[in-house]
Structure 1
Amino acid sequence: MSLTKEAIQHITDTALEAAGKTLATLVPTVVLPESSKVVDLEKYQALRSRFRGTFSTHSLADFSTYVADRASDGSRGFINQDEMSCMLLFNLGDTATPGHADDRAVLKLKASAGYSAAQTIGGRALSQKDLSDWIEDWHQYLTPVDDAGAAIPIAKAIAAVRTITIKASSESETTVGDTSASRSAMDQIEARSKETLPAALQFHVIPFEGLTERQITLRISVITSGSVPVLKLRWVGEEVQREAIAQEFKAVLEAKIGGTAKLSLGAFDLK
């Protein structure tokens, strides 16, 4: 008597269902019918098979405390200086005993309000009112200075920005000879203020929580090509300061958690 394919499959499924064949895995699993489907039984246990999850924070202090409490000899951290972030993997393992890398802590520093304001204002075309309002809003962090670097009171700096006027003058020169004639003209446009207009604004701000205070110099320029003056602020040495802030971020992480986890610059792909 020969058996059909369907009959053989039914007998196999019945045997698997009766035996509940277990597999030699860390997370308890059994083979059940429906083409020997593997089912994860962890959710039916009293406890999880292993600790896993992701702790995410913007706080450098809380990140450091969490890592210090959880880190082991195999913990690895990867610092992204461009993003001012760090990912710490507690169960990465190594090439001989690779881990699941699903127990981790992620730090993503959040720029302070003042640092965000400095980044946003740089390079923008501002009206007199826009700039005077901005100076007024952030006056507790600002020191206006003149060309010589001498401090200017905030009230006078605001008044100077609000009272800028544009003065235009024209000069022409004509030369006549026996066989030729020439004429030249020169227009001069100058922006003036009743008060001493600041040459720059020194912005004192802590860029990210846990880092030291920085002085950002915002140089003021006045554009006189239109009927009303337009002002711009240029962050002097922006790239250099950004790099210094990123280097400080790495140094602070090394000091706080370098003794409990091995840190590297770069990103790690978890796939």
Structure 2
Amino acid sequence: MSLSKEALQLIVDQALVAAGKSLDTSTPTVLVPDSATVVDLERYQAHRNRFRGTYTTHSLADYTAYVVERSAPAARGFIDQDNMSCIVLFNLGTPDQPGHADDRAMLRLKASAAFAAVQAVCGQSLAQKTLSDWIEDWHQHLTATDENGASMSIAKAIAAVRTITVKASSESDHAVSETRASRSTMDQIEASSKETLPAWLDFKVIPFEGLGEQVIRLRVSVITSGSQPVLKLRWIGEEAQREDIAQEFKSVLQDKIGSNAVLSLGGFDPK
């Protein structure tokens, strides 16, 4: 009795499935036919094979409490200071006994409303009303100082911004000789206010939940190149202050997590 090609292939496949022949490779592999299917029976069990999942939050307090509660041997955390975030892998394992790295906790700090507001306004070209409204909205965070370093009330700072006027004047020089005549004109544009304009605004803010208060100094500038005055706020020492905030983030995390996870600066991709 002769067998068809399909029947012979089925017999070979069944033999391979039964034998499950292992191959001599660095990574464990086994020879199975294309028609074989691996079925994970975990979903049919009363419990999962192991605990795994990802916890995410914006709350530093809740995050550190969770990491301490889920304390595991060889847990590792990686801090991204640029994005003010952290990931802790509870089952990363060791080089000798690597884990699946799928039991993790992720924190991404969310800027407070006040910190988001000051970041949004810095460096922008602002009309008088826009800036005066912004100062009025956030007056509880602000103190104003004039060019001489004297304190001024926020009410006066708002009034000064609202009453800025631009004055333009021209000055001409004429020179005449036997052989030539020359003329030069210089235009002067000056911004002034009925009230003393603030030179600096100090913005007190807690940038992220769980961190300390920061004082952001804003330099007030008036630009008179257009028909209407434009104002800008420049964050003095922005890069250095952002670095200080990031360093504080790492210190607070380390203090609260303690020995429950080893923290490192940088990122990690558990492929």
Count matched residues: 261
The aligned counterpart of 1:185 is: 185
Matches within 5 A, 1:61-72: 61-72=61-72
The aligned counterpart of 1:79 is: 79
The aligned counterpart of 2:204 is: 204
Deviations, residues 114-139 of structure 1 (Å, cap 9, x unaligned) = 11111110111111100000001100
In structure 2, the residue corresponding to 1:216 is in which secondary structure? strand
In structure 1, the residue corresponding to 2:260 is in which secondary structure? coil
Task: Report the Cα offset of residue 183 of structure 1.
Answer: 3.0
Task: Report the Cα offset of residue 260 of structure 1.
Answer: 1.0
The aligned counterpart of 1:240 is: 240
Gaps of 5+ in 1: 22-31
In structure 1, the residue corresponding to 2:124 is in which secondary structure? coil
The aligned counterpart of 2:52 is: 52
**Partners of 2:171 and 2:8 in 1: CA distance:** 107
**Partners of 2:41 and 2:127 in 1: CA distance:** 66
TM-score (norm: length of structure 2)? 0.89
The aligned counterpart of 2:115 is: 115
Computed over aligned residues only, the root mean square deviation of the Cα atoms, in angstroms, reads 2.4
**Partners of 2:193 and 2:51 in 1: CA distance:** 66
Which structure 1 residue ranges, 4+ long, deviate > 6 Å from structure 2? 12-17
Letter in 1 for 2:137: D
In structure 1, the residue corresponding to 2:106 is in which secondary structure? strand
The aligned counterpart of 2:261 is: 261
Matches within 5 A, 1:1-271: 1-8=1-8, 10=10, 35-271=35-271
In structure 2, the residue corresponding to 1:6 is in which secondary structure? helix
Deviations, residues 1-49 of structure 1 (Å, cap 9, x unaligned) = 45444334555778999x9x9xxxxxxxxxx998221100000000000
Gaps of 5+ in 2: 21-31
In structure 1, the residue corresponding to 2:226 is in which secondary structure? coil
State the percentage of identical aligned residues.
68
